[in-house]
Amino acid sequence: MHLMYFTEQPMSAYPEDEGRKRGATALMFSNRHFDPVAGSRLYNEYIEHYRLAEEVGFDGIMLNEHHNAPFCMQAKCNVFASILAAITRRVKIVLLGNPLPLADNPVRLAEELAMIDMVSRGRLVSGFVRGGGQEQLATGVNPAFNRERFEEAHELIVRAWTQQGPFRFEGTHYQHRVVNPWAVPLQKPHPRVWIPGVLSKETIIWAARQRYPYIALSTAIDATKKIWELYDSVAAEAGYTGGPENRGYLQRCHVAETEEKALANARQFMWMQGEFTGLAHPVWSSPSGYFSPSYRKAFVEYAVGRGSNPRAASFEDQIRDQQIIAGTPKTVLPKFRRLLEETRPSILGLWASDGFVSNQDATTCIRLLGQEVLPAVREMGKELGLWSPFEANSPVSITQPAPAVHRNGA
């Protein structure tokens, strides 16, 4: 198994009452409420959490990015990836990921990622995402061409990594006179690409066609199984058999010394889901053209309050469905066993704390996970044959072989 540590890097030091007053805490929630002194403190706390995660035995650190919202302080995951490349020694740096459509120059992304891969001595996993709906608005990128830009930027980046330059690229959305970056990845054929997602069938199908592992983000167990059914059927069409090495699962998991404390802190996972401060305006999270037409009816109804959020569930439901796991190290292990037995992922991300969880509790959680949860989960993985892409040395993609040199064993 490949076990990753994850935090959204919540910007918890903002006046909550202002968020409640505004009714939304994304995109247009004024950054006058952003306190850079607290921001500086939090960034540095998160860096310490990452160091600790490596120290206690995580195999990877998962990073992401969002814009204009307190729920995630990372505006650029490549910045933290660069920091981790220098301050960590062993963990994979797993970007899930760079939002490709937001890039006006994907070649620059290819360069940054190559630099991170070299500085980290080949520890980069370069995931790509479409970016949330409001991300398109925050960066002024046309949501109607989101998927086209995603696929075209991906093609350009992989070519920039694998094809010797200079070459010219004339796409629909990207045109480059000269592609010839003087920074190429250390890992060959290129860094592994994993694709995270929540909702879009199109993304699952695309990932399966590329033979990229798909990372289900906090989906319920039954929904996750349906994702694998779809992925495996596309894999069969593409000529390979889907298995654990193609499957990742990010799940929220908070552990503490007592059940009560774990549950109280786990409730913070809801902090940006309406329970505490409210979500973004629905038309921001699903601007026209961003979602596939099959969701149009559901989203217009949601946008005017006529339908429920297709992505929201209550805390109690999420605990029941194991979208949130909380407890002491001892009580969470059977839940992990169920999760692993039923969904059989080889990549498991643990989103450990969120919201207003104190630095001390967040630190304790990482320590307990490392000392008491990870070793047991690793044994379960072995018993169930959940070999990660690194352990299985699986092909990097449908067109690219497995790496010739197997650098990090984890």
The contact set with other proteins (CB under 8 A) reads 27-28, 137, 140, 142-145, 281-284, 287-289, 296-297, 299-301, 303-304, 306
* Shortest Å, Cβ 305 to other proteins: 9
CA distance 395 to 410: 16
| Identity of the residue, 83 or 300, whose beta carbon is nearer to other proteins in the bound complex | 300
Question: Residue 210 and residue 262: Cα distance in Å, rounded?
Answer: 39
Closest distance to other proteins from the beta carbon of 290 (Å)? 9
Q: Choose between 41 and 297: whose C-beta lies nearer to other proteins.
A: 297
Q: What minimum distance in Å lies between the beta carbon of 136 and other proteins?
A: 9
Whether residue 222 contacts residue 318, with contact meaning beta carbons closer than 8 Å, is answered with: no
Q: Tell the smallest beta-carbon distance from residue 151 to other proteins (Å).
A: 14
Q: How far is the CB of 104 from other proteins (least distance, A)?
A: 11
Q: 263: left (phi > 0), else alpha (psi -120 to 50), else beta?
A: alpha
Which of 259, 230, 257, 225 is closest to 338 using CA atoms?
Answer: 225
Q: Is 129 helix (H, G, I), strand (E, B) or coil?
A: strand
* Smaller CB separation from other proteins, 159 or 281: 281
SS3 of residue 240 by DSSP = coil
Of 181 and 289, CB closest to other proteins: 289
Nearer to other proteins, 172 or 180 (CB): 172
Instruction: Provide the 10 A C-beta neighbour count for residue 256.
Output: 22
Quick one: 136 or 323, whose CB is closer to other proteins?
136
Q: Let me know how many helices (H) and strands (E) the chain has, helices first.
A: 16, 11
Instruction: Please calculate the CA angle 292-229-131 and round it to the nearest 5 degrees.
Output: 35
Task: Report the Cα 272 to chain-centroid distance in Å.
Answer: 17
Return the ∠ at Cα 226 (arms to 263 and 2), rounded to 5°.
Answer: 60
Min dist CB 22 to other proteins, Å, is 14
As measured in angstroms, the least distance from the Cβ of 287 to other proteins is 6
Q: Which residues pair with 124 in a beta bridge?
A: 93
